[in-house]
Amino acid sequence: MLDNFIKNYKNLYKNERVIFDGTLMGLIKKSEEILLDEKMSPSKELKEKLLRLKLRAKEAMRVAIVGQFSSGKSTFLNALLSKNVLPTGITPVTSKVNFIRYGEDFKIKINYSDGREEFQSIENISKFVDQRQIVEEIEFLTLYVPLELLKVVEFVDTPGLNSQSKSDTSVTKKVLKEVDGIIWLSLIDNAGKLSEAKILQEYLSRYKNKCLCVLNQKDRFEPSEVEKTKNYIKSSFSEFFSEVIAISAKEALISRSHDKNLLIHQAFEEFIETLKEKVIYEDVDSVDKFYEEYKQKVRAISSSDLSKNIKILKNSNIEAVLEFINTEIKPIAHDSKEYAIKHEIKTLCSTLIEQHMLFLRIYDELIFELNGFEKEANTRFDELKIKFSKKLKNAYEKIEEIIDTIANEIFKHTREVSRVRYRAIQNGFLKKRTLYEKIEYKAPKIDSDMVYRYLFYDDEIVEKKFKKYVRELKEIQDEVNENNTLVYEMIKQKVQMWQSSYEYIRKSKGIYSDVEFANMRKFASKAYENILKSFSDEIHISYAKISSQFNHLSSAINFNYRNATEVVISFIERRVEESVKLYESNPAKFSLYQPTLDEIKDRLKITFYLYELENMMNSNSTFLSKNYDRLSSQFYNISASKKKLCESRKIRHYKTIEILKHLANSIA
C-alpha cells in the first residue's frame, strides 16, 4: 500500500519541471505546493516560514553581524554605514533585531508585536532599539540607508550571544537560521575562547561559504599581539573563516564620519529638513540667508584638510572589510542565498519528519504496551487456571463429602426387619386340603425418619455442610472475578500511563502541525473508548458467565439435597419391595435385594447430577479452564485489533515522511 502511494506521488509530480522551473523561486513554490497541501495539515508558522523564504529569495543577500555581547557590533555597523545610526554603550544596548536595507533616504520602520507598522525619523532609533528604553512591544526594526552596497547585501544587527538576557541569545539564534552569511565580530582579547568555539560549531557549519571573522579594537593592542591573535584564529577556526581581519571600529567611525563627501551629504540633509520647516511655517524671508549659510558651510568642508582622518581611516583597516564584502561576499551573494534557502527547506523537511517520527514512536509505545500485556495476561491466565482448578476440585470434594454423609446415614439406618411369608402345604387324604405355613425372614428397611431427622432436622448436618460449600464457592467466585479484574487493571494501568504522557501533548516547534497534535491529543484522551473498552467489556461478559456458572453449582445442591435424599430412599425402598415380591413368589429363584453403601452413593451421584458437576469442577477442562482459555483468546484478538488500529494510523505518517524525504532529496 505504501509503495503504491509513493509511486502515485512520484507520478503526480513527474512533470514538476514543467510546473515548477529550476529557479530558486520555482523550488520554493514546489515546496509550498507539497508542504502546504491540506493533507499535510500545515501550521500557521510553517506557512509564514515559506512566505518569508519567498520574500527572502527576492531580497538582497542577508548577512548577520554576530558576536558576543559588547563586542562592538553596533559601532562596527555605524562605521560601515559612515553614520552614527545605531546606539552604542558599555552595557549591551541592542535588544531588537535591526534589518539594515537599501533606501533612498535614511528612515526606520518599526514592526510591533501586534502587527502594526510605523515609520520614524532615524534620529529616533535609540528609543526603539536600546535596552535602556522600554521596547517590549517592538518585534523588529528595519533601517533604510542610501548605501550602494545595501542593494546587494543587507545587514542584520543582532542582540549579543552569551548575554545575561536569555531572550537576547534566543533571538539571535533564531536569526542565524534565516540569514545567508555571517560576519563574526569578536574583541581581540576575547577571540577563540571556548564559549565562542561552541557557538561557531553550532551555527557556522550550516553555511556554504566560510565566513569573515572581524577582530575589533586593534587600536588597544600592539601590532605583534594583533598578528598573533589573527594567526591563532586562522589556524584554530579555519573550517569556519576564509579571512580574519583586525580593525578598529571606533577609528573607522571617527574617520568616516569626517569624510568630506559624507559631511557635505549630511549638511545637505540638514539644509533640506530645515528648508521644509521654513516653508511649512511660511518663514520665506529667511530662506535666502539660510541658503547662503549652507553654501558657506559646504565651501568650508571642501577646503578643510582631512588628511589626518584619511590616516585614521587607513589605520582602522575598515577598508579591508569593505573590500572583502565587495570582492568575496557580493560575487557569491546569489549562490550563498540559494544555498541557505535550500538548506532551510531541507531543515523544514527534516523537522517535519521529526514530528511524524514522534507520532510513530507514540503509537509504537502503545503497541509495545499491548505486546507486553499479551505475554503478561497469558502467563497470568495460565497461573489462574491452575490455581482455581485446584480450588474447584476441592469444592467438588465438598459435594462428595455431603453425598458420603447422606449415603452413610442412609446405609447406617438400613436395618434387617422381620417379615412373614406364607408357603402353601397340601394336607389330608389325597391332599385335597391346602394349608399355609408361616415363614419369617429378614428384609432390609430404611428408617427414613431417623435419616431425615439426623441429616435435616436435629443437627442439620447436611445444611451446615452445604452452607460451607456455598460459602467456599462464593469465595472462589469473588476471587476469580477479582483476579480477572486485576488482569484488566494491568492493561488499564499501562494504557493510562501511556495516555497521561500524550493526552495533553503540545508541539515543541512552531512549524509542527497543530491539527496533527490535536488529533493525537484526541486519540490519547479517548484511550478508554479506543483501547480499554473492549477489554473491559470482555471482563464484564466473563463476570456474568462465571457468576451464572457458580450460581448453577450452588443451586444444583441447594434445591436438590433434601429432594434427592428422598428420591434415593424411595428408589431403594422400591427396589427392596420389588425384590420382596419376587422372593416371596419364588424364594428358590429370587433373592432379597440388599443395598450396599457404594450403590447408595452411586444413586445419590446420579440424583445430584454429580457426574455433570464432575465435568465442570473435577476434570482437565473445568468451566473455569474453558473461561480462561476463552479470555486469553479474546484478549489476544482484542490486542491484535488495537495494534492493527495503531498500525493503520501510522500509515499516514509513513506516507508523509516519504513525501518529505522525496522533497528533501530532490533539492540539489
Cα–Cα dist 339/360, whole Å: 31
Q: How far is CA 217 from CA 76, 191, 619, in A?
A: 10, 11, 96
How far is the C-alpha of 479 from the C-alpha of 388, rounded, in Å?
9
Query: What integer is the mean pLDDT of 134-160?
Result: 79
pLDDT band for position 89 (cuts 50, 70, 90):
very low
What confidence category does residue 257 fall into, taking pLDDT thresholds of 50, 70 and 90? low
> Any idea which of 40-44, 210-214, 542-546 has the lowest mean pLDDT?
210-214
pLDDT at site 16? 45
Is it the case that residue 115 has pLDDT exceeding 90?
Answer: no
**Phi/psi at 180 (5° precision):** -95, -15
| pLDDT tops 70 at residue 8 | no
Q: Residues with Cβ < 8 Å from 18, sequence gap 6 or more?
A: none
Write phi, then psi, for 402 (nearest 5 degrees).
-60, -45
The pLDDT value given to residue 558 = 64
More confident residue, 364 or 22: 364
Quickly list H helices, 503-609.
514-525, 527, 533-558, 561-585, 597-607
Q: What is the structure's pLDDT at 383?
A: 94
Give yes or no for residue 47 having a pLDDT over 80: yes
Q: Nine-digit cell at 331?
A: 560575487
Please state which of the ranges 117-131, 259-273, 414-428, 591-605 shows the lowest mean pLDDT: 259-273
pLDDT band at 631 (very low <50, low <70, confident <90, very high): very high
What whole-number distance in Å separates Cα of residue 207 and Cα of residue 61?
Answer: 13
CB contact at 8 A, 528 and 55: no
pLDDT of 457 > 60? The answer is yes
For the chain, give the percent of residues with pLDDT over 70.
82
Q: Are 71 and 89 in contact (CB under 8 A)?
A: no
Helix (H) or strand (E) holding 417: strand 414-427
As a whole number, mean pLDDT of residues 169-195 equals: 75
Spatial CB neighbours of 409, under 8 Å, sequence gap ≥ 6: 451, 454, 455, 461
pLDDT at 159: 74
- For the cut 60, the answer to whether the pLDDT of residue 412 exceeds it is yes
- Say what the pLDDT of residue 647 is: 96
For the chain, the straight-line distance linking the first and the last C-alpha, in angstroms and rounded, comes to: 29
pLDDT of residue 207: 66
Give residue-wise pLDDT tens across range 307-338.
Answer: 677 788 788 888 888 888 888 877 777 888 88
> Higher-confidence residue: 549 or 608?
549
Mean pLDDT of 212-224: 89
Residue 371 amino acid letter: N
The helix/strand/coil state of 248 is: coil
In this predicted structure, what is the pLDDT of residue 280?
67
> Residue 129's pLDDT is what?
64
Angle at CA of residue 431, ends 430 and 436, nearest 5°: 170
Q: What local confidence, expressed as pLDDT, does residue 616 receive?
A: 84
For the sheet with 61-66, list strands across it: 117-120, 107-112, 138-145, 97-102, 153-157, 61-66, 181-187, 211-216, 241-246
Model confidence at 91, in pLDDT bands (50, 70, 90)?
A: very low
What pLDDT sits at residue 70?
66
More confident residue, 43 or 398: 43
Please tell me the total number of residues recorded for the chain in this structure: 668
Residue type, 413: H
Beta bridge partners of 153: 61
Average pLDDT over residues 67-85: 74
Residue 18: pLDDT band with limits 50, 70, 90: very low
Question: With 60 as the cut, is the pLDDT of residue 31 above it?
Answer: yes
Q: Which helix (H) or strand (E) holds 498?
A: helix 461-502
Quickly state the pLDDT bin for 502 (edges 50, 70, 90): very high
What value does the mean pLDDT take over residues 291-299? 75
Specify the pLDDT at position 468: 84
Instruction: Choose from 239-253, 602-616, 636-650 the range with maximum mean pLDDT.
Output: 636-650
Residue with cell 529569495: 57
Q: Tell me: pLDDT of 650 over 70.
A: yes
- Residue entry with cell 571617527: 254
| Position 13 confidence tier, pLDDT thresholds 50, 70, 90 | very low
Mapped onto helix, strand or coil, the DSSP state of residue 256 is helix
Average pLDDT, the chain: 83
Task: Indicate if the pLDDT at residue 346 is higher than 50.
Answer: yes
Between residues 14 and 268, the one the model is more confident about? 268
Residue 164, pLDDT above cutoff 70 = no
Three-state DSSP class for residue 427: strand
pLDDT at residue number 633: 94
pLDDT average, residue stretch 178-197: 78
Section 225-241 average pLDDT: 87
pLDDT confidence of residue 384: 94
Distances (CA, A) of 214 to 80, 202, 238, 244, 286: 13, 19, 14, 6, 49
Q: Which residue has the higher pLDDT, 272 or 54?
A: 54
The number of beta carbons lying within 10 Å of the beta carbon of residue 540 is: 13
Report which DSSP code applies to 123.
Answer: G
* pLDDT of amino acid 557: 67
Contact 266, 282 (CB under 8 A): no
Give the DSSP letter string of 310-371. HHHHHHHTHHHHHHHIIIIIGGGHHHHHHHHHHHHHHHHHHHHHHHHHHHHHHHHHHHHHHH
List the one residue out of 228, 232, 231 whose CA is nearest residue 192: 232
> In the predicted model, is pLDDT for residue 341 greater than 60?
yes
Which region holds residue 513: left if phi is over 0, alpha if psi is between -120 and 50, else beta? Answer: beta
27 pLDDT band, cuts 50/70/90, is very high
Percent of the chain with pLDDT over 90: 33
Phi, psi of 33 (to 5 degrees): -55, -40
Cα–Cα distance for residue pair 569/643, rounded to 1 Å: 61
Backbone Cα Rg of the chain? 51
- Per-residue pLDDT averaged across 274-291, rounded? 69
- Quick one: 375 exposed, middle or buried, by C-beta within 10 A (0-12, 13-18, 19+)? exposed
Q: Do 143 and 85 meet the contact criterion of CB atoms below 8 Å apart?
A: yes
